[in-house]
Amino acid sequence: MAQAPITQNPDIRFLGKQLGDVIRAYGGEALFRRIEYIRSTSVDRHRGIVEADAIDAGLEALTLDDTLAFVRGFMLFSMLANLAEDRQGVATEPGADLASAVERLGKEGVDREAIMVLLDQALVVPVLTAHPTEVRRKSMIDHRNHIAALLQLRDRGREETDDGEMIDDSIRRQIALLWQTRPLRRERLYVQDEIDTVLAYMRDIFLPVIPALHARWKRTLGERAPSFLRLGNWIGGDRDGNPNVNADTLRYALRRQSEVLIGHYLELIHALGAELSISTELAEVTPEVEALADRSHDQSPARRDEPYRRALSGIYARLAGTYQALTGNGPPRPGTVAADPYENPEALREDLVEIGHAVKKGGGGTLANGGAIGRLIRAVDTFGFHLATLDLRQNADVHERVVAELLKVAGVEADYLALDEAARVALLRDELAGGRLLWIAYADYSDETRSEIAIVQAAAEAHRRYGPQSITTYNISKAESVSDLLEVHVLLKEAGLFRPGTGETPPSAAIMVVPLFETIGDLENAPKVMADWFALPEAAAITAARGHQEVMVGYSDSNKDGGYLTSVWSLHQASRALAPVFEQAGAAMQLFHGRGGAVGRGGGSSFAAIRAQPPGTVKGRIRITEQGEVIAAKYGTRESAAANLEAMASATLLASLEKPSLPQKDFERYSAAMDTISSAAFTAYRELVYGTDDFRTFFRQFTPIAEIATLKIGSRPASRTKSDRIEDLRAIPWVFSWAQARVMLPGWYGVGHALKGFKDQALLREMLDAWPFLQATLANLEMVLAKSDMVIASHYLPLVEDQAMAQATFGSIRDGWQVTHDCLLSITRQTRLLEKSPALDHSIRLRLPYIEPLNHLQIELLKRHRAGEDDPRIREGIQLSINAIATALRNSG
């Protein structure tokens, strides 16, 4: 069936023209014409007007220098198209706002009181991570954001900037800067670089946006809800497979976060002092504000009749002292008086609330709607003195080795690693029951053990300095047993973060230990592990004191282990099976979803994913990782950040309070069907990836994984070990590599085999119509299929040395794709992919003509590079092509 022609939105057309003018101005007319020929020819090929040979002819005419310029041009067009689409709301769902959620719930009989009860204990947290999938330099993203701000001015009918420059000229200038900005990093990233990069988002985006959203929600709800939307961070505390993260990076991350945050508070208080010019000659002032003013010791004659300003001078002085105490540096703007620092955020909040209450009393409540003081109080509620809660994470194997060494050196147990699970649990419980410590400062320990002890000591120091909200969670990768959780408690005890019970005082843990269940087997075993954990009296006491317990579920490794369908179904089933375990333990369950950008790593719509969670598993509390290119895409501007954060909050509200869409009897039928389908998909996936001879060789030669490893996009290695086994490969390069070759195998392989083999096709259609889980699952699958291209992928085959093996393996992949494609269209009753999703269809089809030439150039450059050509422009061209394809595909990592 012929597809409708691709029509661009006005922003894409405008930005594309500006980019063309820049290429012509800086690259010359000849380069512009070569690039324009390839662009228009590729567009015509996708419209069925010309054959593929016409594109090849244009590509073959490019010199190496022209190739680099061409790739940059297509990459920049994709970046600008992404910007234009984000402005049009392509990435957000209709109704994904709190007002719509409240209205929807009201129609179901859920009143405002029930909503407020939920929000009183709710927690919604995006957790920013440094997972290396963002290929663009921060400089490129900054120019993009400048263009976004200029386009907003243009939307308002403005022709000039505040500086008097014509807006269209300013946009062209930013695009010219993009054209002349080196897209690739030359130096490797360090953890401190990653911390500083994410701090820019925290400062410029999250600090202003989260309080503003809470203010909007107060108007929607008619009353002030607690600060349930907060910010989390892994960067500086995630040590799993990254030897560059240590106690120093932990201290650096927390110090810099506090520096940014309190500097922000100081600026707000300075501005508030300018605003609150209220004179006692014209207004009454509460005794509490008068007392604050007197305690400030501000003796300025100019402010003698202005108690708010004098009070704020005192608050500013105390906060400036806090800045110096927590960061070791003087504040950016010294105060006019000296004062002792605040002991904690609560003390600062009390002073601000006194001012807020006083402001509201006069004028019949004219100044009672919050304003700057209300936003500042909300910020202190939300961010404290720490800005973002910093998680710790480490692999269970490391904890095992460290605890074994501690026990051996202390003379408690010579060979802990040889003990079975029951013996380990008994021994660890004995250690946790007493006050004795294992760490001996002068003993000879391995570097690993010293580093891990230094981490928990730094965490204890952070609690004393920044407060307990600075670090609340310790995540355990590869958690498989109760002993994995107990080992971390033993380490926390060494720093005073776990305290044994004494007499009537129960044991306590200042940091919550969270198991991360990643593989298919781990997910299936998760309910048993948690039931065994809650059965321990000390675990039950810790959980009861906290009121909730978190469990993290991993999308990445479960996908690499079992394929897309089995991964998402295992996560769904594990979440559902955990609910009664928590209910029996009397604990609230808090799920932490370890999602990536690509569908193979849990990507796709957060709004749809949260709403598709099993009934009874959200209950107002959820945390979700945000990483790599997703951070820039979702939180690159304040507008997009507000939309995406509100989508998370509204989806959480709906998933918690909406009536289940499925009767239990229907879910049981659907669940049985999904068990059958998942099993068949798992078998097909495992047979290909782990059961095919030389599949590992095929993957490493067919995709540009080796070349991806040369990109300076993260501080951690691509593999946890030096092994080249797929099992030991990080999930990010696994997914990223398949995306570059346009196969995107982790997002669909095995699904077609399973759907084709399922006999009751009518049941599948019924399930799709009625079940949010299957709707979200197949929507993400459809997007991946639309972005993949087996014809383009086949051009990567000559990169594989053993052609017989390559043809056979790729034949299985191509056949699997076709079966998946055909089955999906049959179930969804469509004649082509994305027929029922026109906005997404348009977005993807707009990009395809720009990606195909990049793939062809990448293949040619890979051939030359692997043949031994050492021209540095070839390596640069490969890296640029990776960057450009990832930008065009958007969620490729």
Please report which confidence band the pLDDT of residue 601 belongs to, taking 50, 70 and 90 as the band edges. Answer: low
Tokens for 748, please give them: 């669909």
What per-residue confidence (pLDDT) applies to 636? Answer: 82
What confidence category does residue 84 fall into, taking pLDDT thresholds of 50, 70 and 90? Answer: confident
Indicate whether 269 pLDDT > 60. yes
214 among known catalytic residues: no
The torsion angles phi and psi of 95, rounded to 5 degrees, stand at 80, 5
Structure tokens at 248: 């120093």
Neighbours of 339 (CB within 10 A): 19
Q: Copy the structure tokens of residue 372.
A: 């700057």
Would you say 367 and 359 are in contact if contact means Cβ atoms under 8 Å apart? yes
Dihedrals phi, psi of 94, to nearest 5 degrees: -65, 140
Q: State yes or no: pLDDT of 333 exceeds 90.
A: no
Query: What does the pLDDT read at residue 22?
Result: 95
- Does residue 232 carry a pLDDT above 90? yes
Which pLDDT tens digit goes with each residue over 721-744? 555 677 667 667 888 899 999 999
What confidence score (pLDDT) does residue 179 get? 94
Tens of pLDDT, residues 607-639 = 888 998 999 999 999 999 988 777 887 888 888
Residue 694, token pair as written in the block? 């030389």
d(CA 305, CA 307): 6
So what's the pLDDT on residue 90? 41
End-to-end Cα separation, the chain, in angstroms? 32
| Tokens standing for residue 654 | 């709906």
Number of alpha carbons in the 13 Å side-chain half-sphere of residue 190: 9
63 three-state secondary structure: coil
Q: Which of 46, 131, 478, 572 is catalytic?
A: 131
List pLDDT tens digits, range 398-456: 999 999 999 999 999 999 999 999 999 999 999 999 999 999 989 999 999 999 999 99
Q: Can you give the residue ranges of every domain in the chain?
A: 249-383, 390-657, 664-836
230: tokens are: 């907060």
**Strand pairing category for 392-395 and 473-477:** parallel
Helix (H, G, I), strand (E, B) or coil at 557: helix
pLDDT in tens, 808-858: 999 999 999 999 999 999 999 999 999 999 988 988 888 888 899 999 999
Q: Quick one: pLDDT at residue 2?
A: 39
Q: What residues contact 319, with CB distance under 8 A and at least 6 apart?
A: 262, 265, 266, 269, 331, 341, 342, 348
Nearest to 314 by CA among 286, 294, 334: 294
Render pLDDT for 571-589 as a digit per residue (tens, 0 to 9): 999 999 999 999 999 999 9
Domain 390-657 annotated CATH 1.20.140: no
Topology of domain 249-383 in CATH is de novo design (two linked rop proteins) (1.20.1440)
Give CA torsion, residues 690, 692, 693, 696, to 10 deg.
-50
* One-letter-per-residue 3-state SS of 256-274: HHHHHHHHHHHHHHHHHHH
- How far is 850 from 19, CA to CA, in rounded Å? 14
Q: 598-619: buried (b, 16+ CB within 10 Å) or exposed (e) per residue? A: bbbbbbbbbbbbbbbbbbbbbb
Residues β-bridged to residue 509: 498
Decide if pLDDT at 10 tops 50: yes
734 Cβ contact partners less than 8 Å away, ≥ 6 residues apart: 560, 600, 726, 746
pLDDT value of position 772: 92
Mean of the pLDDT values across residues 265-280? Answer: 92
One-letter identity of residue 336: T
**According to the model, what pLDDT value does residue 335 have?**
77
Alpha-carbon torsion angle 430, 432, 434, 435, nearest 10: 150
Per-residue pLDDT at 730: 67
- Maximum CA pair distance of the chain? 92
Strand order in the sheet with 588-594: 389-390, 232-233, 123-129, 621-627, 588-594, 548-554, 512-517, 473-477, 392-395
- 130 — pLDDT class (breaks 50, 70, 90): confident
Contacts of 259 (CB under 8 A, 6+ apart): 323, 326, 327, 329
User: Which range, of 54-58, 207-211, 265-269, 365-369, averages the lowest pLDDT?
Assistant: 365-369
- Cα separation of 240 and 720, whole Å? 8
Residue among 334, 270, 337 nearest 299 (CA): 337
Q: What is the pLDDT of residue 1?
A: 33
CA 599 to chain centre: 13
Looking at the DSSP bridge assignments, the partners of residue 127 are 232, 625
- CA–CA distance, 629 with 893 (Å, rounded to integer): 8
Which residues are bridge partners to 552 per DSSP?
516, 592
Catalytic residue among 489, 493, 560, 865: 560
Triad 179, 89, 378: Cα angle to 5°: 100
pLDDT given at position 3:
46
Model confidence pLDDT, tens digit, residues 662-672: 899 999 999 99
Report how far residue 182's alpha carbon sits from residue 280's, in angstroms, rounded to the nearest whole number: 58
Residue 5 has pLDDT above 50, yes or no: no
Whether the per-residue pLDDT at 656 is higher than 70: the answer is: yes
Dihedral of the alpha carbons of 782, 746, 133, 867, in degrees to the nearest 10? -120
**Residue 560 known to be catalytic:** yes
Residues composing the chain: 893
Return the percentage of the chain with pLDDT > 70, whole number: 92
Q: Quick one: pLDDT at residue 504? A: 84
How many angstroms separate the CA atoms of 808 and 814, rounded? 10
Q: How does the average pLDDT of the chain come out, rounded? A: 90
Q: What's the pLDDT at 603?
A: 57
Q: How confident is the model at residue 47 (pLDDT cuts 50, 70, 90)?
A: confident
pLDDT of residue 363: 61
Whole-angstrom CA distances from 714 to 132, 261, 732, 784 are 5, 25, 11, 25
Which segment of 222-226, 328-332, 887-891 scores lowest on mean pLDDT? 887-891
**H-only helix segments in 751-871:** 751-757, 761-770, 772-787, 790-794, 803-828, 838-866
Per-residue pLDDT, 451? 97
Q: Which two tokens stand for residue 471?
A: 């670090």
> Is 110 within 8 Å of 662 (Cβ atoms)?
no
Mean pLDDT, residues 643-650: 94
Split at pLDDT 50, 70, 90, the class of 709 is confident
Q: Check pLDDT > 50 for residue 795.
A: yes
Q: Do domains 249-383 and 390-657 have the same CATH topology?
A: no
Looking at residue 26, its amino acid is: Y
Share of the chain above pLDDT 90, in %: 68
Which range among 73-77, 235-239, 359-363, 701-705 shows the weakest confidence by mean pLDDT? 359-363
